[in-house]
Structure 1
Amino acid sequence: MIQKTALIIRHVPYEGVAAYREPIEAAGYHVDRIDVSDPVFATLDLTQHDLLIMMGGPMGVYETEAHPWIAIQIERLAQRLEADRPTLGVCLGAQMIAAAMGATVYPGPAKEVGFHPVRVHDHALTSPLRHVVDVPVLHWHGDTFTLPEGVELLASSHVYEHQAFRRGSNILALQFHAEMGLDPRFNDWIEQWPGCIVEAGQDEASMRAAHDRLGPAAVAAGQAMIAEWLEGLD
């Protein structure tokens, strides 16, 4: 029996798959990972793995001059999406999916940083996002995107309308970070981006306290969401 394969694309070392690894492995996938800084990434065929997971990062999708790999990734991601191969994007990864579908990614008017729930739309209450209803999850971004054609908007927040969308059963884009809540790399996020915390009206002590208090429930909800999504793949 051939084992299913999953590939995680990591844009920076401190933004990994975190708690999503458990449901992915439980669904029977052998998980590989590649960093965009790896020379192999420039020639990598993104259609080959059974599942592709793209995580977050501090760069913007539009910063192609500073990060030449972005254009490469979007071009090859578009090929994967055209083939409707199972793909999950988180934060920057979600913005990559939007861009590969022809949407515009741009700096938003505010930083969305901290733990708060998303509003799952009524038509999506039977989707895998039902698991995050009323659950405060981590947000950490300042960019947003226009909604691509042919997708279903699943969730919004009080800061940004476009928090999650899907196309059919196989393509899922999540702006928020329900994979984070038990991962010690959260401390790296705080150390890397203290300005984002201040700009969002937060402080480091309250962020750490919220992480300790709300993180376990966020992770449990996020893992249940991803497990159900994986079960429903075509």
Structure 2
Amino acid sequence: MHIHLLQHGPDHGPARLTDWLTSMGHSYTVFHLYAGELTPRPGECDALIVLDGPEEFLSHPPTWFKAEDKLINRYLDGQKPLLGIGLGAHWIARALGAVVAPGTYAETGWHTVELADESPFDLPERFQAFMWHRYVFSLPDDALPLGGSEAAPVQGFSWDAGRVVGLLCHLEITHLSIGERIEHLPFPEGSDTSAFVQTPQEILAEPRRFDQLAPLLDRLLSQWLRAS
């Protein structure tokens, strides 16, 4: 398969996603929309991944968002796999009619996700994932929930029998990619008053945590691409 990835900022890259795609024999193209590259046409690939990006884009969309939103809606109306992570999941959820708004608490660092009883995801009942957000979304109509953390009850969803997946939490990040994000980007709004925000030292203290995300990402991506 050939997969397109939409990137929304220099510090919001695909991280482990491209390594996984290569290891599974897939080809890919990353479109750096923030750098002026045009949004691809929907017929040019077999699946689409909408990456994370600055949360400020949710209230102040960039100039190129109109074209990206149109592309997302084309995929929702079609038959090809669509995956959104972070900002990408917010945009997919909004396109499906869900409410997207600031959550009660900012959430960063390592937190436990508990699968919902009706979750269709091939993941452990409890697992550690990485968080970096203040905004949350409600569960779209006709979607099934991934599960939730203490600060965010909807950490993801599956729609159209698993063809479309949105993830608030992060399984794709690496020690290097998060180190660069911490160095160059501010923490999400409200981080200074939230009990669910970890310090940079706490986030980076155990590099093996990042390696433990790899098999979770493999299970999720394999299930996602099999669903179509």
TM tier relative to shorter chain: 0.7 to 0.9
- Classify the secondary structure of the residue corresponding to 1:188: helix
TM superposition score normalised by structure 1: 0.85
CA distance in 1, matches of 2:164, 2:205: 33
1:36 matched to which residue of 2? 33
Which digits, 9 at most, give the CA deviation of each residue in 1:18-54, with x for residues without a partner? 1122332344321111011344425x32343101011
Counterpart for residue 116 of structure 1? 111
- Runs of 4+ in structure 1 off by over 6 angstroms are none
Distance 1:183 1:46 in 2: 32
What does residue 102 of structure 2 align with?
Answer: 107
Q: Which residue of 2 aligns with 1:8?
A: 5
| 2:44 maps to 1:52 | no
**C-alpha contact 1:165 1:173 (8 A) present in aligned 2:** yes
Aligned to 1:82: 77
Letter in 1 for 2:10: P
Specify whether residues 228 and 56 from structure 1 end up closer, same or farther in structure 2 by C-alpha distance, changes over 3 A only.
same
Is 1:150 matched with 2:142?
A: yes
1:178 alignment counterpart: 171
Pairing 1:205–2:201 present: yes
- Any idea what SS the aligned residue of 2:42 has? coil
Does the 8 A contact of 2:171 with 2:213 survive in 1?
yes
Between the aligned residues of both structures, percent identity stands at 23
Deviation at 1:135, TM superposition (A): 2.4
- Secondary structure of the structure 2 residue equivalent to 1:216: helix
Give 1:220 deviation, angstroms: 2.6
Kindly state the Cα deviation for residue 99 of structure 1 after the two structures are TM-superposed. 1.4
Which of 212, 221, 226 is the aligned partner of 2:216?
221
Work out the CA distance in 1 between the residues paired with 2:135 and 2:217.
22
How far 1:86 moved relative to its partner? 0.5
Corresponding residue for 2:22? 25
Q: Is the 8 Å Cα contact of residues 56 and 92 (structure 1) preserved in structure 2?
A: yes
Q: Which of 69, 72, 97 is the equivalent residue of 2:67?
A: 72
Runs of at least 5 residues in structure 1 that lack an aligned partner in the other structure: none
- The secondary structure found in structure 1 opposite 2:5 is strand
Query: In 2, Cα distance between the equivalents of 1:76 and 1:103?
Result: 18
Q: How many residue pairs were aligned?
A: 223
Q: Distance in 1 between matches of 2:178 and 2:44?
A: 31
CA contact (8 A) 2:81 2:224 kept: no
1:122 Cα offset (Å)? 2.1
Task: Give distance in 1, aligned partners of 2:205 and 2:107.
Answer: 17
2:148 is aligned with what amino acid?
S
- Contact 1:27-1:227 within 8 A present in 2 as well: no
Three-state SS of the structure 2 residue aligned to 1:17 is: coil
What value does the CA root-mean-square deviation take over the aligned residues?
2.1
Contact 2:118 2:144 in 1 (8 A): no
Instruction: Tell me how far apart the structure 1 counterparts of residues 99 and 57 of structure 2 sit (CA, whole Å).
Output: 9
For 2:49 and 2:32, how far apart are their aligned partners in 1? Answer: 12
> Contact (CA 8 Å) 1:103, 1:147: kept in 2 or not?
yes
Q: Check the 8 A contact 2:175/2:204 in 1, yes or no.
A: no
Query: Is residue 192 of structure 1 aligned with residue 187 of structure 2?
Result: no
- Separation in structure 1 between the aligned mates of residue 227 and residue 66 of structure 2, nearest angstrom: 27
